Amino acid sequence: MSRMVKRAYKYRFYPTPEQADLLNRTFGCVRLVWNKALAERTRRYAEEGMATSYVDTAKWLTAWKQDDELSFLREVSNVPLQQVLRAQQVAFNNFFAKRARYPRFKNRKKSRRSAAFAGNAFTFRDERLTLAKMSEPLAIRWHRPLPEGARPSTVTVSCDPVGRWFVSILVEEVIAALPTTRASVGLDAGLEYLVTLSTGEKVSNPRYERADRRKLAKACKHMSRKAKGSANRNRARQRVAKIHARIADRRRDHLHKLSTRLVRENQALAIDDLTVRNMLANRSLARAISDAAWSELRSMLEYKTGWYGRELLLVDRWFPSSKLCSTRGCGHVNGKMPLNVRSWMCPQCGMSHDRDVNAAKNILAAGLAER
């Protein structure tokens, strides 16, 4: 069975100085439009009690472009500015549906620098992508081909803190489901081991942030000694950003390989429905939990199971997977079990359990039972 899905292909590209200048100005305009629209939405509701739609914000944008003080908005493509207003409308819809918090203002230094171009703001022919207001195509490194006959619907350009430029091309693609298998697996997330499988396998936690922690601390200390706004501080900031990027790239690569393997080998995967944001309130474990990136792994499992015809089973976060004896027919639930207890013996059936393997088996059983 095949299914049509929307899939983004991300590539690195190398802009000319003119292209980089135009894109940087576009990023600034996108950020400005987001902040002005958010401020006006907030004021309008607080003072007048009026709701705001995308149509309202689009009219504001037209008026802003007629203002002499904001005439620079006319120097960049109008499409990314409209796209950011649509994104803001989606953000408010998610807020009112209680799926996300209230949208926040974009910061010049901290916010992601990106701009989205819809189909009417670029041309794509023979692997040559040219954005609106540009006379030359982008010099893209095509490290993998797009699907044959693919027609990009949206192109998102971004620049990370290190100064690397990326383009993400969204296409519709037919993905064939993987052959059906009878195997199912339960996953217990942890810190000593990234995940423990119900089969007894334990996947080591690379801890990329901890491995580079001393190097990162030294670079941050070096940056803190530089005068703010100086060229030396900017170079030091780049060194810090490179270390962070290296950590993130290695972690993402490891999670992609792990999630792909698990999806290929198993028809159903059961995991805890963890609320990682709440767990980060534990100051003793927050850094280690962030380094493990459980949320990113879950996100990968969610879309990959959807692509390849697999099933992701979510188990209630309050399910006592570690305390429950996984022996068939027993069902004994232990009392308090601190994190330092890594193995225990069931007082009812006498079976000895590895804490993590036992939890993974219970997660699988609970997930299959709730199908």
Per-residue three-class SS string for 85-117: HHHHHHHHHHHHCCCCCCCCCCCCCCCCEEEEE
In percent, the amount of the chain with pLDDT more than 90 equals 77
Query: What's the CA gap between 168 and 280, in Å, rounded?
Result: 30
Average pLDDT in the 255-284 region?
A: 91
Asked whether the predicted pLDDT for residue 67 surpasses 80, the reply is yes
Average pLDDT in the 111-121 region?
A: 93
Q: What dihedral do alpha carbons 132, 138, 144, 147 form, nearest 10°?
A: 30
Domain boundaries, the chain: 2-176, 184-312
- Tell the residue number behind the tokens 């850094």, with chain if given: 287
Per-residue model confidence (pLDDT) at position 58: 96
Q: Which of 8-17, 60-69, 157-166, 340-349 has the lowest mean pLDDT?
A: 340-349
Look at residue 62 and give its three-state secondary structure.
helix
C-alpha distances (whole Å) from 317 to each of 148, 272, 364 are 42, 6, 13
Per-residue model confidence (pLDDT) at position 251: 96
Residue 264: which of 305, 312, 299, 296 has the closest Cα?
305
Asked whether the predicted pLDDT for residue 279 surpasses 80, the reply is yes
Per-residue model confidence (pLDDT) at position 18: 96
pLDDT tens-digit series, residues 313-342: 999 988 888 888 988 888 888 888 888 888
Asked whether the predicted pLDDT for residue 153 surpasses 80, the reply is yes
pLDDT tens-digit series, residues 283-317: 888 999 899 999 999 999 999 999 999 999 999 98
Reported as a pLDDT band with limits 50, 70 and 90, residue 282 is confident
Average pLDDT in the 179-205 region?
A: 94
- Quote the DSSP letter at residue 333: B
CB-CB contact of 319 with 362 (8 Å):
yes
Per-residue model confidence (pLDDT) at position 332: 87
Per-residue model confidence (pLDDT) at position 122: 95
Is the pTM above the cut of 0.75? yes
Per-residue model confidence (pLDDT) at position 80: 96
Cβ contacts of residue 16 below 8 Å, gap of 6+?
Answer: 136, 139
Asked whether the predicted pLDDT for residue 371 surpasses 80, the reply is no
Query: What's the CA gap between 314 and 198, in Å, rounded?
Result: 15
